């Protein structure tokens, strides 16, 4: 089978140390029409078929932050999700695809702080990291002191990745220095844990704000920038993702520091996963397709990927009930 050459799913990249706050980097303007035209071509100009599609979909599984962020989460739900993260595709399907020796797992399991100890215990020995949403997720309106305490508590409980949410008011009022200091404080509280900064792009108003917020979060030391909490009315779209990955490219060209990207919210189909992988390949290159620099925040996505793999292996689709997550 054709494959995408990739390092282990949990290779640890160099941290982004950040830079001093530089307001001059925020002077660029986003051409919305050009961004929308470019984003519209991504799903139409590139495609992968047959064994290549299977290889790309198997690779996409490595990039998934398998997520449960519901009010009715229970320890049992989280343990079942972790079991799915350890073995996301049935062994017999992998065998029939000709990749029975493939060591396959998801990029991480993402949960609320309350469920971090349960997830850590369920993933013991797997090297799959637990990611915890933090800082008053999803609204980000908790007092700053409590946000820092929440980060520290999740790291102490075993979370190796922290998904923080920024205060949208700093972006909407143009208070970029306050945003920088907030994210810098979060970065220090994370200690050894990698930090993903959630911009909540659907609440930032303009693509210019998305670009500027991306740069400020990277200057403040974010290891990843993430589109959304999944709770907003507008979550990950190709136009706002394109703006963010171009900000990543600009930051890398300016500093030499590599920052990862995580689209989240509303990515439910295998076709969408391929669209985002194509975006990363065309805009940033092969390295940014790997799990240490690219993640997809999703819950139902894995179901559809497994269905597509079954169709490629057997020529038919299985019912969704045969791909339970939890």
Please identify which of the residues 185, 212, 262, 275 carries the catalytic annotation: 262
Rounded Cα distance, 146 and 141, in Å: 10
b/e 55-84 (16+ beta carbons within 10 angstroms → b): bbbbbbbbbbbbbbbeeebeeebbbbbbeb
Give the residue among 268, 260, 233, 267 at the shortest CA–CA distance from 244: 260
The phi, psi pair for 173, rounded to 5°, reads -100, 0
The answer to whether 185 is a known catalytic residue is no
Q: Which of 84, 147, 163, 185 is catalytic?
A: 163
Cα distance between residue 200 and residue 166, in whole Å? 8
Which residues share a beta bridge with 162? 132, 195
Cα 299 to chain centroid, rounded: 12
| Catalytic-role residue among 226, 258, 275, 304 | 226
226 is a catalytic site residue: yes
At 74, list the tokens: 């229970």
* Tokens at 282, concatenated: 């065309």
163 catalytic per annotation = yes
Helix (H) or strand (E) holding 132: strand 130-133
Active site residues: 163, 226, 262
């Amino acid at each position: 089978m054709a494959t995408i050459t990739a390092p282990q799913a949990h290779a640890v990249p160099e941290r982004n140390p950040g830079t001093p706050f530089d307001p001059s980097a925020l002077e660029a303007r986003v051409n919305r029409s050009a961004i929308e035209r470019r984003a519209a071509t991504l799903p139409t100009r590139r495609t992968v078929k047959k064994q290549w599609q299977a290889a790309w979909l198997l690779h996409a599984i490595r990039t998934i932050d398998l997520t449960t962020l519901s009010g009715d989460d229970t320890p049992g739900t989280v343990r079942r999700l972790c079991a799915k993260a350890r073995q996301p595709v049935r062994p017999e399907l992998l065998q029939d695809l000709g990749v029975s020796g493939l060591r396959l797992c998801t990029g991480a399991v993402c949960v609320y702080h309350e469920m971090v100890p349960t997830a850590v215990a369920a993933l013991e020995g797997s090297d799959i990291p637990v990611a915890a949403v933090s800082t008053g997720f999803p609204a980000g309106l908790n007092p700053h002191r409590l946000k820092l305490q929440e980060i520290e508590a999740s790291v102490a409980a075993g979370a190796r990745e922290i998904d923080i949410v920024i205060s949208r008011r700093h972006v909407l009022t143009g208070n970029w220095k306050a945003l920088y200091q907030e994210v810098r404080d979060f970065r220090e509280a994370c200690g050894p844990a990698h930090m993903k900064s959630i911009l909540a792009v659907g609440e930032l108003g303009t693509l210019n704000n998305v670009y500027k917020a991306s740069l400020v979060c990277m200057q403040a030391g974010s290891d990843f920038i993430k589109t959304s909490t999944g709770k907003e009315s507008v979550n990950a779209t190709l136009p706002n993702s394109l703006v963010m990955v171009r900000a990543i490219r600009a930051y890398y060209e300016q500093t030499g520091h590599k920052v990862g990207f995580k689209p989240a919210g509303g990515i439910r189909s295998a076709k969408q996963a391929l669209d985002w992988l194509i975006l990363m390949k065309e805009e940033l290159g092969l390295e940014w397709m790997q799990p240490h620099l690219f993640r997809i925040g999703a819950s139902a996505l894995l179901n559809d990927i497994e269905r597509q793999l079954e169709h490629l292996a057997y020529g038919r689709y299985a019912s969704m009930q045969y791909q339970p997550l939890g």
